[in-house]
Amino acid sequence: MLVLQSHSNKFIFPLVGERMEPSSGSEVSEEQALQLVCKIFRVSWKDRDRDVIFLSSLSAQFKQNPKEVFSDFKDLIGQILMEVLMMSTQTRDENPFASLTATSQPIAAAARSPDRNLMLTTGSNPGTSPMFCSVGSFGASSFSSLYETSPAPTTSFWSSVPMTSPSFASSPSRAAGPTAVPSISLSPHGAASGTAAGSQPSSPRYRPYTVTHPWGSSASPSPRSPSISILSSSPSLPALASSPQAVPASSPRPRPSSLGPPSLAASPSAVSRRPSSLRISPSMYDNPFSFLFLALSGDSSDEDEEDDDDGDDGDDEGGGGGDEFSCVQFGSSLGASGGASTWDSYSDHFTIETCKETDMLNYLIECFDRVGIEEKKAPKMCSQPAVSQLLSNVRSQCISHTALVLQGSLTQPRSMQQPSFLVPYMLCRNLPYGFMQELVRTTHQDEEVFKQIFIPILQGLALAAKECSLDSDYFKYPLMALGELCETKFGKTHPVCNLVASLPLWLPKSLSPGSGRELQRLSYLGAFFSFSVFAEDDAKVVEKYFSGPAITLENTRVVSQSLQHYLELGRQELFKILHSILLNGETREAALSYMAAVVNANMKKAQMQTDDRLVSTDGFMLNFLWVLQQLSTKIKLETVDPTYIFHPRCRITLPNDETRVNATMEDVNDWLAELYGDQPPFSEPKFPTECFFLTLHAHHLSILPSCRRYIRRLRAIRELNRTVEDLKNNESQWKDSPLATRHREMLKRCKTQLKKLVRCKACADAGLLDESFLRRCLNFYGLLIQLLLRILDPAYPDITLPLNSDVPKVFAALPEFYVEDVAEFLFFIVQYSPQVLYEPCTQDIVMFLVVMLCNQNYIRNPYLVAKLVEVMFMTNPAVQPRTQKFFEMIENHPLSTKLLVPSLMKFYTDVEHTGATSEFYDKFTIRYHISTIFKSLWQNIAHHGTFMEEFNSGKQFVRYINMLINDTTFLLDESLESLKRIHEVQEEMKNKEQWDQLPRDQQQARQSQLAQDERVSRSYLALATETVDMFHILTKQVQKPFLRPELGPRLAAMLNFNLQQLCGPKCRDLKVENPEKYGFEPKKLLDQLTDIYLQLDCARFAKAIADDQRSYSKELFEEVISKMRKAGIKSTIAIEKFKLLAEKVEEIVAKNARAEIDYSDAPDEFRDPLMDTLMTDPVRLPSGTIMDRSIILRHLLNSPTDPFNRQMLTESMLEPVPELKEQIHAWMREKQNSDH
C-alpha cells in the first residue's frame, strides 16, 4: 500500500489487485488517485497498450512529472477528456488506437458490427405473451445492470456524491507547458465546495430498470467537416465557446429510416470476461471508440463484490490489465440474466447514427457509467469526501462534454432542427443511472444551451411517439422518456416542463373546421396521446393480434388482457407527463389551456352523426380521459363550484343551442343576467373545480361516443349475420336462378365484411370493456351524482321526497347531458359489463335514479326520463339476471316504496304525447319497459300496498287502464294482421309452380314484404304480450276501475274483437310456420283473454259485452268454449264459468232486442257534437260547447284538451247542464211511451 500526501488533499486508494476497501488509517497517494482517473477513462500516457487509449499529446509532459502539468484533478479530467475527444476527429488512417481492446459494448457499436449481435433480456417468458411489461427509468447503468435490476449499493448514490455547479467557460490555460489542454470543467471552486442539497436532482423514477428493448430511429447524418486532429495541428488549444450558436434550419427535420434486423446472437454466456476470448470483427479495429465499446470484459456476477482477484499486474499506472476494468456490459444484456432474445422484433426500429458524435457520446457515457461501477465495488471507500469529490468531478465533466458534443462544439455546430444523437439511447433505455438528470441540471440554467440540447430531444421523442403502435411494446419508450424528463425537477422547477410548454406546437391555433383532429396531429402532446387499440385508429393492432383464421373466446380474452395492461402502462406515463406539467407552477396555466382546448375542439364528437375526420380519435380521447380521471381522484366535492359552467372565466365553451335540463335558452339568459348583476357571486376558479368539469366533459366526448360506436358495430354484426343466414337458408331457392351469381357475390361480400367487423369488435373489446377503466368512469359519475343531489337538496344524503316543486335554477340551467350521460353509461355497463356495477358509489346511483323517476317535473325532456326508465328496466332480473342485486337496491330503497309506482304510472300515461314526430311508436317501447318493471315490483311486498292504494285512488289509475286498452287494441290488431300477411306469402311460396310463374320483381317484392312483416310481428307481439300480461295481473287484483262507464264498453269491445281474431271464421289465416319465431303463442293468449273475462265477471261487464254489436256473437263464444276444451287450455270448472257468462250475456242481448228503441230522430241540441249520439248526461266545456259526459271523459283519458280548440281541459272544468238533461230524459220517456 502506497501512502502519499499531496499539498492539502489526501487520497486513499488501493493499488491495483488489492482490496477496494481500505483498512482503518490507510491513505492513498495522489498517484493512486491518478490511477483511478486513468482507470475510469481507460487512458495512459506511459505505454501503448491494447486495453487503454494512449494520450500521445500529453505523453511527453506527463512522463516527466504529471503534477507539473495539471493544477488539480478537475483540470486533469478536463484535459484528458478533451484530448480523447479530439483524437476521435482524426481520420481512420491516422488512428493510433486500432489495437485497443474493449471492456463494454454500447448498443451503437453492436448495431454497427456485422459479426456481433445485441442480446436483449426480458422480464417474462416471451413465449407466453406477445408483449412484455417493463417499467423504470432511462436506464439501468452498470451501476445496477442496464437491463436487469441488481442489488442497490450500500451507500446512497446522492448522499455519497456531492454535485457541482455547471459552467461552460473553459479553464484558463495552464502555465505548465505549451501543450496543456484546456479543461472544460465546472465552476473553479465547485470541486471543493460541492452544491447544496436543494440542487440535487429529485426524481424517484431514475432507478434501475428491469426490462428494456431497443427502440429508436435513424436520422440523416448532419454534414461533417474534414477530420482534423486539433491536438496535432496546434501547440495549444483555444478555449471552447460556452454556448455554441445554433445553425439556422434550412429544411424540416428528416424522418428516421430503419435498419433491418441482424441475426440472433448466441447465448450471453458465449462472451467471456477475458478479452482474448472475444470474437471481434476486423472492421471494428478501424475506430478507437467502436472497438473500445464493443465488449468490456467485466463480469456482472462479480460486480457486487469488493474483491477482484482476476486483475493483472497492479503496478501499471495506466491500468493496463483487462480485468482491472471489469464492469457489466453497457448496451447489452450480457451482464444481466441472459434471457431469450427478442431482437428480431425490435431491431428494425432502432438505429444509432455512425458518426464522430456517436463515438464521443459512447465514450462519455461509458466513463460516466464506470464511476457507478467503482462506487458499487467499494462503497465505503468511495464515500470518503476526497474520493467522492473526485468521482463527482468525473461525472460533471462527462456531462459537460456531452453537452458540448450535443451542441456540435467539437465537430460542427448543430441546429435545433437536427435530430438529437441522444434520443436513440433514451428510447432503448440505454443510459446510466442519473445521466439525464445530471444533463438537465448542468444545462437548464443557460436557456440557449438548454434549448439547443433538449428541443431536438423533445422533437425526437415526439417523432418516435408518432410512429409507435401497440402491436409491440416499444410504444411506451417515448412516453417513459418524456415522463422522466418532465418529472426531473430542481427545487420547485421542472425545467423540461417549462421547455415543453414553450414549444410553438404546444397549443397550435386551429386552421380548419377539423380542430379536434388538428390538435391531435399537430400539438406536441398529441403524438403521445394517440396510441390506441381500436382498429379504426391503428390497423396494425388488428392485423397482428386478431388476424388469425379463427378468433376464439379464450384467445381474445388473453390478448385483450395483455392489450389492456399495455394501455394502462402507457396511460400511467401520460399521467406522469401531464401531472408534472400541472405541478410546475410556471406551466400549470398552459396545461389547463391544453386540456380545455382538447375538450372544446372535440365538441362534435357528442353528435349522433360525426365526421370522424374532424375530431380526435377514440383512442386519443380515451387516453385523455384516463389521465383526467387520475387527476380527479383526489378531488373533494366540497371544493367543486357547481356553478362553474356559468362562470365568466369558464374554460369550457358550450354551444349556443345546448339543451338544458329544465330551461329554455331564454330562461338561462334571464337567470344569468340576474346572476351576474352588479356584484357577481363568482370567485376565481380553483384547480379542483376546473379539473372536475373538464373531466366531466371529457367523459361526454370520449367514453360515451365510443360506447355508441360499439353498439352500432354490434348491431351491424347482427344484421350481417342475419343476412348471411338468410342467404344460406334460401340457397336452394336461388342457386339455379339467374340471380345465383349475384347472391353468391353478396354472400361472399357479407362474410368478408362480417369477419372484418368481428375483428374490429375484438379490438374494441380490449379498448372499451376494460373493467378497471369502466370502474373509474362509474366512480366519477358517482361523484357527479353527489354534486347533482346536493344541488337538488342541500340536505343530501338525508333527502326527502317529493322534492320542492320549484326546480333549483342552477339544476334547471345545467346541460342536459349531465343527467343523460349517467343514464347512457349505466345502460352500457348493465348490458356489457354488469360486474362493474357494484362499487361504493352504487348507493348514490340508486338514489339518483329513484329521485329523478319520482320527480319527473325536474326534467323537461320526456325522452330523458324514458332513458332512466330503460336503465331500471335493463337491471330487472327478468332482463339481466346479473343485476338482480342492483334492482333490489332500487325497489327496496326507502324513497321508492311510496312514490316510484305512482310516478311510473303517471309517466306511462304522460308519454302518450312527447312532442316528437315518432311519439306514437316510441310510447309502446317505453310502456313495455314500465310494464316489465311493474310486474317485478308487484311481487315486492313493500310496493304491493302502494299498488293497491293507486288502484283505489281513481283518476290516475283510470287513465292508466285506458292507455292499456288503447295499446292492447293497436298492438294485437297489428300483430295478428302481420301474421295473416305472413301466412299468405308462405302459402304462395309452398305452391312452387304458382310461385315460379310470378315475375322476378313481384317475387322480390313479396319476399321483401315478408321480411318486413316478420320484423313487425316480432316487435308488436312482444309488446302486446307484455300489455296483456299486465291486464291479466290487474284484473285479478281489482275490478271496479275497469267497469267505469268510460272504460267498460271499450274493454269489452277490445276483448270481443281479439276473441274473434283467434277463434272466428278467419282464425286459420293466423297459422304460420314456426310461430315461436315471432313469439306467437295463441293458446296462451286465448287463456289470458278468457281469464280477463272471468275475473271481471259481473252484471255490468256482461251488459258491456252484450252492447258490443261489432264483434260479439253467440257463435263466437261457443267456438271459444269448444277450442278451450279441445286444446285443454282451461280446467273444466273454468270452462263452465265461462259458459255461464256467455249465457248471461245472451240473455241481456235478447232483452235489449225486445226493448230496443230508435232514438235516431233526436233533435240536434240533444246530440253529442263529437259522436253524433244521444246525450244522457250533458256537460258544458269552458269553450261553451255541450257534450255528453261519458264521451268527453273518454277523450280526456287520451288527451287533457278541449277537442274543439285544443285548450287545456280537465274533468273539474266540466259544468253540468241540468235543464238540458231534464229535457233529454223527458223526450226519451215520451219516445218510449209512444213506441209502446
- Contacts of 270 by beta carbon, 8 Å cutoff, 6+ apart: none
Which helix H or strand E contains 1216, and what residues bound it?
strand 1215-1216
Q: How far is C-alpha 1116 from the geometric centre of its chain's CA atoms? A: 62
Q: What is residue 227's predicted lDDT score, i.e. its pLDDT? A: 34
The Cα–Cα gap between 307 and 381 comes to 13
pLDDT at residue 75 tops 90: no
Q: How far is CA 1078 from CA 729, 916, 982, 1085, in A?
A: 18, 29, 11, 14
If one compares 461 and 3, the residue with the highest pLDDT of the two is 461
Name the pLDDT band for 1077 (thresholds 50, 70, 90).
confident
CA angle at 20 for the pair 18 and 22, rounded to the nearest 5°: 90
Q: Kindly list the distances between the CA atom of residue 115 and the CA atoms of 112, 263, 294, 352, in Å, as whole numbers in the listed order.
A: 9, 9, 11, 17
Per-residue CA distances from 978 to 39, 1007, 1178 (Å): 94, 14, 41
Three cell numbers at 236?
A: 495549444
pLDDT at 1098 over 60: yes
What is residue 615's predicted lDDT score, i.e. its pLDDT?
96
Q: In 55-175, where do the E strands start and end? A: none
Q: Assess contact for 287 and 92: CB atoms under 8 A.
A: yes
Instruction: Give the Cβ contact number of residue 671 at 10 Å.
Output: 16
Residue 347 has pLDDT above 50, yes or no: no
Please provide residue 680's backbone torsions phi and psi, each rounded to the nearest 5 degrees. Answer: -55, 140
Angle between helices 618-632 and 588-601 (to 10 degrees): 140
Residues 6+ apart with CB under 8 A from 546: 556, 559, 759, 762, 763
Which residues in 578-613 are b (16+ Cβ under 10 Å) and which e?
A: bbbbbbbeebeebbbebbbbbbbbbbbbbeeebebe
The C-alpha cell at 517 is 383532429
pLDDT number for residue 152? 32
Torsion, Cα of 260, 263, 269, 273 (10° steps): -60
The answer to whether the bond into 248 is cis (omega within 30° of 0) is no
C-alpha 108/C-alpha 362 separation (Å) is 8
What is the tens place of the pLDDT at every residue in 681-707? 678 899 999 999 999 999 999 999 999
Average pLDDT value for residue range 110-117: 34
Res 678: pLDDT: 63
* Mean pLDDT value across residues 876-901: 93
**Which residue is associated with the grid cell 393480434?**
545
Pick the range with the lowest mean pLDDT from 119-133, 426-440, 451-465, 1216-1230.
119-133
Q: What is the DSSP letter of 54?
A: E
**Mean per-residue pLDDT, 1207-1223:** 90
Q: What is the 3-state secondary structure (H, E, C) of 1091-1142?
A: HHHHHCCCHHHHHHHHHCCCCCCHHHHHHHHHHHHHHCCCCHHHHHHHHHHH
**SS3 state at 281:** coil
pLDDT of residue 89: 67
Q: What is the mean pLDDT of residues 1199-1216?
A: 89
What average pLDDT does range 542-570 have in this prediction?
87
Selection from 957, 976, 965, 1137 nearest residue 1055 by Cα: 965
Q: What is the pLDDT of residues 468-496, one digit of tens each?
A: 899 888 889 999 999 999 999 998 899 99
Q: What percent of the chain is predicted at pLDDT more than 70?
A: 74
pTM for this prediction: 0.76
Q: Which of 8-17, 21-30, 332-341, 499-508 has the lowest mean pLDDT?
A: 332-341
Span 978-1012, pLDDT tens digits: 999 999 999 888 888 888 888 888 888 888 899 89
C-alpha cell at 938: 308487484
Q: Determine the 3-state secondary structure of 274 from DSSP.
A: coil
Q: Which residues pair with 44 in a beta bridge?
A: 54
pLDDT in tens, 719-776: 999 999 988 888 887 777 777 888 899 999 999 999 999 999 999 999 999 999 999 9
**What is the pLDDT, as a whole number, of residue 26?**
55
- Mean residue pLDDT of the chain comes to 77
Q: Can you tell me the mean pLDDT for 315-342?
A: 33
CA distance 411 to 417: 17
Judge whether residue 498 has pLDDT over 90: yes
CA–CA–CA angle 194, 200, 203 (5° rounding): 160
Residue 585 clears pLDDT 50, i.e. is over it: yes
Read off φ and ψ for residue 10, nearest 5 degrees: -110, 130
Instruction: Give the Cα separation of 364 and 100 in Å (integer).
Output: 17
Residue 209: its pLDDT value, please?
A: 29
- Tell which wins on pLDDT, 983 or 300: 983
Q: Rounded CA gap, 1212 and 1191, in Å?
A: 15
Residue with cell 337538488: 792
The angle formed by the CA atoms of residues 699, 703 and 704, to the nearest 5 degrees, is 90
Helix (H, G, I), strand (E, B) or coil at 412: coil
Task: Report pLDDT for 306.
Answer: 37
Nearest-5° Cα angle at 1126, 1124 to 1128: 60
The CATH T-level fold of domain 1164-1235 is Herpes Virus-1 (3.30.40)
pLDDT tens-digit map of 628-643: 999 999 999 999 999 9
Q: What is the pLDDT of residue 847?
A: 96
Distance CA 504, CA 459 (A): 12
Cβ neighbours around 985 below 10 Å, total: 18
Cell 501512502 sits at which residue?
3
Residue 6 has pLDDT above 80, yes or no: no
Q: Compute the distance between CA of residue 414 and CA of residue 416 in angstroms, rounded to an integer.
A: 7
Report the Cα 327 to chain-centroid distance in Å: 44
Predicted local distance difference test score (pLDDT) of residue 243: 33
**Residues 20-55 pLDDT 10s:** 344 444 566 677 778 888 888 888 777 776 667 877
Q: Which of 440, 425, 301 is nearest to 365 (CA)?
A: 425
- Can you say whether the dihedral through the CA atoms of 875, 880, 883, 889 is positive or negative? positive
Q: Are 757 and 717 in contact (CB under 8 A)?
A: yes
Other C-beta atoms closer than 10 Å to the C-beta of 1060 total 19
Per-residue cell: 439: 444533463
Q: Where are the alpha helices (DSSP H) in 658-802?
A: 665-676, 687-701, 703-729, 731-734, 740-768, 771-792
* pLDDT in the model for residue 95: 41
Question: 919-938 vs 862-874: helix axis angle to the nearest 10?
Answer: 40
Element (H, E) at 278: none
Quickly count: other Cβ atoms within 10 Å of residue 679's Cβ. 6
Whole-angstrom CA distances from 652 to 79, 515, 657, 683, 809 are 58, 15, 15, 17, 20
> What whole-number distance in Å separates Cα of residue 538 and Cα of residue 471?
9
**The predicted structure's pLDDT at residue 1231:** 81
3-state helix, strand and coil shares in percent for the chain, rounded to the nearest 5: 60, 0, 40
Amino acid at 444: H
Taking a C-beta distance cutoff of 8 angstroms, is the pair 38, 317 a contact? yes
Compute the distance between CA of residue 295 and CA of residue 299 in angstroms, rounded to an integer: 11
Provide the grid cell at 746.
353478396
Distances (CA, A) of 1072 to 1009, 1075, 1081, 1082: 15, 6, 11, 11
Q: What are the pLDDT digits (tens) for 1010-1069?
A: 989 998 899 999 999 999 999 999 999 888 889 888 889 989 999 999 999 889 888 888
